[in-house]
Structure 1
Amino acid sequence: MNFTTTLASWQQLDAWLSHHADFWQPVPFYTPKPPWAPLAPDLFAAVRGLSEEDYLALAADQAAAQPWLAGYRSSLLPPPLPPLEALTLKRSQAQALTLSEVQAPHMPERKRHQAGCLAAQLQPYTRPLVDWCSGAGHLARTLAKASGQPVLALEEDAALVARGTAWIEATQCPDQRQVRLEQQDVLALQADSIFWPRDQHCVALHACGDLHRHLLRQAVAARQPRISLVPCCYHLTQAHHWQPLAQATQASALSALTPLQMRLAVQETVTAPDRVTRQRHCLNVWRLGYDALRQQLTQDKAYQPLVSCSVKQLRLGFAAFCAWAAEQQQLVLPAEVDWDAWWAQGQQRYAEVQRDELVRHQFRRPLEIWMLLDYVLFLQEAGYQVQLSCFCEPGLSPRNLLIDARLTNAT
Structure 2
Amino acid sequence: MSKLSIYFDKLDAALNKYQAYWNFVPFQCDDYPWQNPSLIQYLQLLADNSKLTHDEVCHQISEQFFPELTDAMQSIDFLQKQLVDDWYKPVPFWLQNGIHGRKITQVQQLSEQIKPKYPLLEWCAGKGHLGRLLSFQHNVAVTSVEWQKSLCEQGRKLAKTYEIQQDFIHADVLKQPATWLKPHQHVVALHACGDLHVTLLKQAVAAKVEYMHVAPCCYHLIAEQTYPALSALGQASGLTIAKAILKLAVQAQVTAGQRVANLRQTEVLWRLAYQLIRADISGETGYKSLPSVKKSWFSGAFADFVDWGINHQGLVLPAEINFADYLQRAAVKQKFIQQLEYVRHTFQRALEHWLVLDKALFLEQSGYQVEINYFCPYQTTPRNMMIVAKL
Same fold (TM over 0.5): yes
- Residue 71 of structure 1 corresponds to which residue in structure 2? 64
- Residue 153 of structure 2 corresponds to which residue in structure 1? 162
Q: Is the 8 A contact 1:89 1:117 kept in 2?
A: no
1:248 to partner: Cα distance: 3.4
Q: 1:86-116 CA distances to partner (integer Å, 9 max, x unpaired)? A: 23258666233x352x323211131111100
Given candidates 352, 371, 388, the residue that maps to 1:368 is: 352
The alignment's TM-score, normalised by the length of structure 2, stands at 0.93
Q: How many residues are aligned here?
A: 390
Identity, % of aligned pairs?
32
Given candidates 262, 269, 278, the residue that maps to 2:262 is: 278
Distance 1:215 1:52, change over 3 A: farther
- Residue 82 of structure 1 corresponds to which residue in structure 2? 76
Structure 2: how far apart are the matches of 1:303 and 1:105?
45
Q: Is the 8 A contact 1:89 1:120 kept in 2?
A: no
- Residue 33 of structure 1 corresponds to which residue in structure 2? 31
Structure 2: how far apart are the matches of 1:291 and 1:264?
21
1:297 to partner: Cα distance: 3.1
- Is 1:400 matched with 2:387? no
Q: Is the 8 A contact 2:84 2:377 kept in 1?
A: no
- Is 1:43 matched with 2:27? no
- Residue 222 of structure 1 corresponds to which residue in structure 2? 207
**Matching residue's letter, 1:50:** L
Given candidates 124, 128, 131, the residue that maps to 1:137 is: 128
- Residue 59 of structure 1 corresponds to which residue in structure 2? 54
- Is 1:153 matched with 2:137? no
Structure 2: how far apart are the matches of 1:294 and 1:210?
34
1:391 to partner: Cα distance: 0.5
- Residue 310 of structure 2 corresponds to which residue in structure 1? 326
Specify the SS of the correspondent of 1:187. Answer: coil
Q: Is the 8 A contact 1:293 1:342 kept in 2?
A: yes
- Residue 185 of structure 1 corresponds to which residue in structure 2? 172
- Residue 196 of structure 1 corresponds to which residue in structure 2? 181
Specify the SS of the correspondent of 1:77. Answer: helix
Distance 1:294 1:91, change over 3 A: closer
Specify the SS of the correspondent of 1:50. Answer: helix
Q: 1:372-394 CA distances to partner (integer Å, 9 max, x unpaired)? A: 11112111112211121100011
| Structure 2: runs of 5 or more not aligned | none
- Residue 21 of structure 2 corresponds to which residue in structure 1? 23
- Residue 115 of structure 1 corresponds to which residue in structure 2? 107
1:342 to partner: Cα distance: 1.0
Structure 1: how far apart are the matches of 2:329 and 2:103?
39
1:197 to partner: Cα distance: 4.1
Specify the SS of the correspondent of 1:71. Answer: helix
Q: Is the 8 A contact 2:182 2:209 kept in 1?
A: no
The alignment's TM-score, normalised by the length of structure 1, stands at 0.89
1:72 to partner: Cα distance: 4.7
1:78 to partner: Cα distance: 4.8
Distance 1:87 1:349, change over 3 A: same
Structure 2: how far apart are the matches of 1:317 and 1:263?
28
1:32 to partner: Cα distance: 2.4
- Residue 5 of structure 2 corresponds to which residue in structure 1? 7
Q: Is the 8 A contact 2:85 2:377 kept in 1?
A: no
Distance 1:25 1:297, change over 3 A: same
| Structure 1: runs of 5 or more not aligned | none
Structure 2: how far apart are the matches of 1:350 and 1:90?
37
Q: 1:345-378 CA distances to partner (integer Å, 9 max, x unpaired)? A: 2222222211210011011111111111111211
Structure 1: how far apart are the matches of 2:24 and 2:260?
25
**Matching residue's letter, 1:184:** A
- Residue 106 of structure 1 corresponds to which residue in structure 2? 98
Specify the SS of the correspondent of 1:49. Answer: helix
339-348 or 198-207: bigger deviation? 339-348
1:69 to partner: Cα distance: 4.9
83-92 or 293-302: bigger deviation? 83-92
Distance 1:331 1:81, change over 3 A: farther
**Matching residue's letter, 2:195:** D
Specify the SS of the correspondent of 1:42. Answer: helix
1:74 to partner: Cα distance: 4.3
Q: 1:271-300 CA distances to partner (integer Å, 9 max, x unpaired)? A: 123322222211111110111122233332
Distance 1:151 1:76, change over 3 A: closer
Q: 1:292-311 CA distances to partner (integer Å, 9 max, x unpaired)? A: 12223333221210122233
Specify the SS of the correspondent of 1:397. Answer: coil
RMSD: 2.0
Structure 1: how far apart are the matches of 2:322 and 2:38?
35
- Residue 229 of structure 2 corresponds to which residue in structure 1? 244
